[in-house]
Structure 1
Amino acid sequence: MAEESLLCRGGNNPVTRPLQHQIDFNILVPPKFVKITNEVIEMLAGEEYNLECTSRGSNPPANISWNLAGPGEEQFGRGSDLGTELVSANISTKVINSETISRLPFTPSKQNEGWVLVCRAWNPILNSTLETSLVLRVAALPEVILEHSMNIDNGVAEGEAVKLTCHTQAASIHSQGWYFQGKEISLDVEDYKLEENNLFIQNISRKLQGNYSCSGENSLGIGYSNVVQVLVHHTPVCGKNGKIEFTQDGTNFVFICPVQANPRPTKFRWNFKSGDNSLILERTTLTPKLEIQLNPAGSGVDYSSVSCSSQNLMGVQDSPCSMHLVPKGVPDPIRECISNISTKTVIISCSNAAPNLSPVKYVLRLKYNLAANTQRIEIINPSSPYFLVRDLPLNTRVSAEIVAINDKGESAPFQVELDTPQPDNLQETSSSSLNSKL
């Protein structure tokens, strides 16, 4: 308090004590100084800062309040106060003589970039105010939003152009990236054109349909956008492997046509042909699944291939999906095998023959000489051309042949010569690909 006194004395002679009267009073003084004493030049979004504001010279000591003003907020209250007053139980204030110190715990968000934080000191009796302010600089990972042109919500036709716009909400963006199916796009290819924050997909095709996103990078790191799916309307085509899938139960078959299309196909056409490419059977389905009985007993009909094609609202499939069916005769010969030979075992594994319209079993036949006698071994595998042979004599040449057999006969043999290890190489194991002698 600026407490002062005035003393008045009066007398008319030097003998008597003069009369006196003292008046005590306070001088009301507005704030003379206010400052945020620990200004932070740049804050990180989400991190807490303890800010301190000091006021001096006011009598009585000044009250201090904190205000936060966003863009375009109107003035209100005393003087030129801006924004909304911050009220928190965590704000602490202490008074030392004529000095008031206020501490504010403050956690900025990225939306506070460019806002104004005001410290206001005011004398409650004089209604006199002194203010200082801090323009907030808030650094944050970029907030990135990807928008698309209105015409892609329900898909676009092949050949159309698509525009994607990447919006970044953060200060000091120094680079931007674009991604297709999670991989960064090379912008030096003809399919894409970049103009500022817009990506144009020119003459879009099936290979360019998928998920797109973008990113923005600043000093704190990279922020990624939402994903926009671009769907392309096109006529049906065969899938990546182009293979018709099928399952078999005796003469009953289920075929699945492996087409890709947008929109979904509405009709499927199936053709079964003989070895001379003559059409034997034709079917139409509304789904990619066909259930059919082939080669009923005694029919004598052989099927060489099956194909399927489909159509949707965009048109008819240009090239059908097809699969070769082995006629109901003897199986095709086995062509690829590998062997693994050790002192105790011989393992021979071959690739399956082509699909066949009747069950197939596989037979391994071994022949070798032992003490001037010819030894023969036959091993049957009813499901696959995989064979394990134990306890063959060492240092012996073994002739082997593998055949596939069905109810019409057996295939041409796959023939090879194998050499078992010598006694002085008992620890060795050898693996190799086998080539038929035929």
Structure 2
Amino acid sequence: MSDDGVSLEGGSGSVSSDGNTTTSILSFSPTASDHGLILTCKASNQRIPMSELRDTWMLRVLYPPKVTLTLGHGLDADDIKEGADVYFECHLVANPWVLRVWWLRDGQRLLSNATSGIIVSNQTLVLQGVSRSSSGRYCCEASNTEGSSRSPPFHLKVKFEPICGDGSGRKVLGAAKDEPLSIECKVEAEPTASLFRWSFNSTPGISRDLTEFTAEPGGSMLTYIPKVAADYGTLQCWGRNELGSQRNPCTYHIVPAGKPDPPNGCDLFNVTHHSVVLTCKKGFDGGMKQKFALLVKSGDGLMANLSANVPEFLVSNLEPAQDYAVTIFSINAKGWSKGSSPIVVRTLPAPGLKEQRRSTGPGMGGGDDRIGGGFNGPWLYILLAAGSTLIVAAAVGAIVFVIRRFKVDSPVRERRCEPQRSPKREEVPLNPGVSTFTDTSVSDDKNPDLIPPSNESLLECSSAPYTITARPSSKRNSATQMPVKPYHVTWAPILQSRNCATQTPPPHKESSV
């Protein structure tokens, strides 16, 4: 067996039991370079001339992309300065062919952005007007149906002059007289800055160079000791590399050390029924490193005392619907600042049952279901529900008692003013001195035209009561066309001096209506 003229070893052969068939088996692992080669199997019998037979196969090897990245032609990787244009090329070998190509810088994929000077064109990446922020590790990534591959990273280093490493390059430092102050000047540069220069000035336009400092690649350290008032002023530091000296120096203002100013511009965020987030802006640090403290008070009691390196605090374990006074301080080696203006924080009402949580602040009980001698948790709501039920029941009972008492304790009103039922035909009136509507010959059911006056109005004690008698008169029912025995009504006033208790009617005159 051979692979494009190269003999392959490792094949194994076997002969059938009858000796007429010989079988050979070859096992090997093809590589990407074997794609498209011819694999041939040849067999011959040495005893029979010209008996050679062969069989061939063309190899089709599938594999993920092989990716390499190179810098554009004519560019020197060791001499790329700010403002230059740079481009990369991505070289691919794959079977099947790649589906997509990506460009990455420091592991982040890059997209075309003409504003930022980034142009992606399939297997080419163009960077226009590079700056120090363009430095990084670039690579090319390609993928096909067999997988994805990345090229080895190419570290692009854009050369630039030194700049201050802390960004702003201006700091205020406090120092007491005869107190050594260590000042570190760090700069960023490519290549790294190795030469430094320091100067001091206390009067505008007048400066003097300082020579007692140490330098190392990337930074310098100066120990400064102010001894008199004239030693307080401004220190400046410059770095230098092969491209030139630093244009804008790093500046440090030396001031007498003192207590810091309190934080200002405080804001509240995420106020809940048991917590609040508070952030403030730093004040002047007094020229020294500072930290911050927060005090939370409820009335005269201290509820929390927190500290942090930045003026941002999360205050928790508060009670719902309570007012708290919050004060923030700055602290440095010289002491505490004045307190900030008190900030009033009111927590929200609890949305449901109070949380049973353990307090970590001083003056607050933790882990107990009783706070301040009262109940906390579900028992409080059970007691409130029971109390509300008792109050409602007592109110209803009081109303019923008053109504009943009024009826029982006022017999005169009940006897004088209570409306009385019209007695039935066979009933005898309770008051023999007052006659009611009676008719022994015709019942009320057979005379619908008759609308007798209301007993209640007739018996109203506030006006003079009357005795009513009915006499028939000649009329016809319009609905039934039946003759109806008319009535003649006689009103007899009863004197107001009538005794309602005894129901004895006084003498009266009869008037006919």
Q: How does the TM-score come out when normalised to structure 1?
A: 0.60
Partner of residue 227, structure 1: 153
Cα drift, residue 213 of structure 1 = 0.9
Structure 2 residue 45 is the aligned partner of structure 1 residue 123: yes
Cα distance change on mapping 1:141 and 1:292 into 2, 3 Å: same
**C-alpha distance after superposition, 1:193-218 (max 9, x if no partner):** 56774434343332222111112322
Structure 2 residue 198 is the aligned partner of structure 1 residue 270: yes
Kept in 1: contact 2:172–2:255 (CA 8 A): no
Partner of residue 223, structure 2: 292
Partner of residue 486, structure 2: none
Q: Which residue, out of 241, 255, 260, partners 1:312?
A: 241
Partner of residue 184, structure 1: 109
List gaps (5 residues or longer) in structure 1: 1-65, 70-82, 430-438
**C-alpha distance after superposition, 1:381-426 (max 9, x if no partner):** 8999899999999998666655557798874541114468799996
Comparing 391-400 with 109-118, which one deviates more in the overlay? 391-400
**C-alpha distance after superposition, 1:234-293 (max 9, x if no partner):** 11123374467999998323333232111121322335565x867666436543122312
* Structural mapping, 1:81-96, within 5 Å: 83-88=5-10, 91-95=12-16
Cα distance change on mapping 1:124 and 1:349 into 2, 3 Å: same
Kept in 2: contact 1:403–1:410 (CA 8 A): yes
- Rounded to whole Å, the distance in 2 between the matches of 1:110 and 1:303 is 72
**C-alpha distance after superposition, 1:108-139 (max 9, x if no partner):** 11221111110112121234222221111101
- Rounded to whole Å, the distance in 1 between the matches of 2:308 and 2:40 is 87
SS in 2 for 1:207: helix
- Rounded to whole Å, the distance in 1 between the matches of 2:8 and 2:333 is 91
Partner of residue 206, structure 1: 132
* Structural mapping, 1:408-427, within 5 Å: 411-418=337-344, 427=355
Taking every aligned residue pair, what percent have the same amino acid on both sides? 25
Kept in 2: contact 1:212–1:228 (CA 8 A): yes
Structure with more of its chain in helix, by fraction:
2
- Rounded to whole Å, the distance in 1 between the matches of 2:229 and 2:313 is 34
Higher RCO structure, 1 or 2 (CA under 8 Å, sep 6+): 1
Comparing 228-237 with 239-248, which one deviates more in the overlay? 239-248
- Rounded to whole Å, the distance in 1 between the matches of 2:123 and 2:271 is 63
- Rounded to whole Å, the distance in 1 between the matches of 2:155 and 2:315 is 55
- Rounded to whole Å, the distance in 1 between the matches of 2:310 and 2:126 is 53
SS in 2 for 1:111: helix
Cα distance change on mapping 1:303 and 1:393 into 2, 3 Å: farther
Higher-Rg structure is: 2
- Rounded to whole Å, the distance in 1 between the matches of 2:277 and 2:122 is 63
Cα distance change on mapping 1:415 and 1:136 into 2, 3 Å: same
**C-alpha distance after superposition, 1:124-183 (max 9, x if no partner):** 123422222111110111111222357434242223343433222223323322222222
Q: Which residue, out of 335, 342, 356, partners 2:286?
A: 356
Partner of residue 60, structure 2: 137
- Rounded to whole Å, the distance in 2 between the matches of 1:126 and 1:196 is 60
Cα drift, residue 343 of structure 1 = 11
Partner of residue 105, structure 1: 27
* Structural mapping, 1:302-381, within 5 Å: 303=232, 306-322=235-251, 327-335=256-264, 353-357=283-287
Cα drift, residue 220 of structure 1 = 0.8
Kept in 1: contact 2:67–2:91 (CA 8 A): yes
- Rounded to whole Å, the distance in 2 between the matches of 1:203 and 1:422 is 55
SS in 1 for 2:83: coil
One-letter code aligned to 2:41:
C
- Rounded to whole Å, the distance in 2 between the matches of 1:426 and 1:170 is 66
SS in 2 for 1:123: coil
Kept in 2: contact 1:343–1:427 (CA 8 A): no
- Rounded to whole Å, the distance in 2 between the matches of 1:118 and 1:376 is 92
Kept in 1: contact 2:136–2:155 (CA 8 A): yes
Cα distance change on mapping 1:377 and 1:314 into 2, 3 Å: same
Cα drift, residue 330 of structure 1 = 4.4
Q: Which residue, out of 277, 283, 303, partners 2:210?
A: 283
Q: How does the TM-score come out when normalised to structure 2?
A: 0.53
Partner of residue 258, structure 1: 186
Cα distance change on mapping 1:327 and 1:379 into 2, 3 Å: farther
Cα distance change on mapping 1:130 and 1:281 into 2, 3 Å: same
RMSD: 4.9
